[in-house]
Amino acid sequence: MTLYPAPTTLPPRFDQRRYSLLQPPFLIVIFPPPPPPAGGEGKGDGPCNPLHSGSCSPSRIRSRERLIDSSASSFSPAVHSLRMPVLFTIIGICAIAALLLAAFGPYIRRCAGGGVCTSDARLDGKTVLITGANTGIGKETARELARRGARVIIACRDLTKAEAAAHEIREDTGNKQVIVRELDLANTKSIHQFAENVMKEEKLINILINNAGVMMCPYTKTTDGFEMQFGVNHLGHFLLTCLLLDLIKQSAPARIVNVSSFAHVFGRINFKDLQSEKGYDGGLAYCQSKLANVLFTRELAKRLKGTKVTVNSVHPGSVKSELTRHSFIMSLAWKVLTFLIKTPKQGAQTSIYCVVAEELQEISGTHFSDCRPAFVAPQARNEETARKLWDVSCKLLEIRWD
């Protein structure tokens, strides 16, 4: 077998499919059978020039090919031996990365945890109504507000889970004034019935936290025909706030907190297809609903001037919660990046801050994250879009809210 330096340009007669690359800069060259010599097949068995295959007989070519094929196999151990260091290098890098994450993971988690509400303000005598507080951020928010002495109303669709959460909070805080009421934000009749009951049973609603939400679910519609994410995240809370607003005003000073998301940055209000009937993308629909939360907050703040009722929106951060249950990709990402994801308790801090911070008594129409004012996307600051969304929402819900 002969090893030749690998040519920069292969001769035109070479069949590239029959080259076997071993280790640069060498090639094992297998030549195609030449045309029979003029004297007939089998003649011309003299010395064979590998660069001029026409001088070799077919029998000589076949013999040379068998020799090369058998010899090439002897290089397999060498090729595999070169792969082993690469494999060990990759394993080593992964091991080092795992050790670094184990060592610095707690520190990274603390940094990713963001702001912490440092206020120790009490809420004795105050009534808090919070939606979706049977799990995640809402549950931790309810727990902390109950610990501060508030009467907490947990409004949820699943009464079994809500009762379990309420029982846990009562046992943990010693506050027996944690009650459960049924509310389905995907059904306007349920919202009307819930609001009617609250107006009859409660003397005050000092704090309303619109916390419940759905994220990146398959395309479905609410009972009233609204796209699920837009219907629950925006329209449901829009209607609930409208129906309870008189009681909230009577309870002034009062606060409303709308839980939005940084995802509003990627949202656009598609007035031509609000219900995503012409095309549905779960992620874009979620972003649209979160943008609607911010726009609703800013427009409502304008309309509440002089009432001693403030309204602000919050981005809780990337939080490990049940919101990602509808998205396999999001669930997987949350598990892989667990050291960067907030716990529900950490995610609840900004909502708690907006409820209890004394310095926010006169602050309204602001977006918060990590217990401080946060970036608001240009489309969320558009006053014309906010007014139009308000009017369209009233029309869809068949309500008059001046």
Catalytic amino acids?
286
Name 152's bridge partners. 128, 178
Rounded to whole angstroms, the Cα distance separating 341 from 318 reads 6
Interatomic CA distance for residues 359 and 80, integer angstroms: 68
Please give the Cα distance from 356 to 353 (Å, whole number).
5
**Neighbour tally for 336: CB within 10 Å:** 10
Helices (H), 282-323: 282-303
Q: Residue 228 has what DSSP assignment?
A: H
CB 131 within 8 A of CB 211: yes
Cα dihedral sign, 251-252-255-256: positive
Biggest CA pair distance of the chain: 115
Q: Nearest 5 degrees, angle CA 57-CA 61-CA 64? A: 140
Q: Which two tokens stand for residue 215?
A: 């994220």
CB-based contact 226:199 (threshold 8 Å)? no
Token pair of 99 as six digits: 């050790």
Question: For the chain, how far is it from start to end, CA to CA, in angstroms?
Answer: 93
- Encoded amino acid at 62, one letter: R
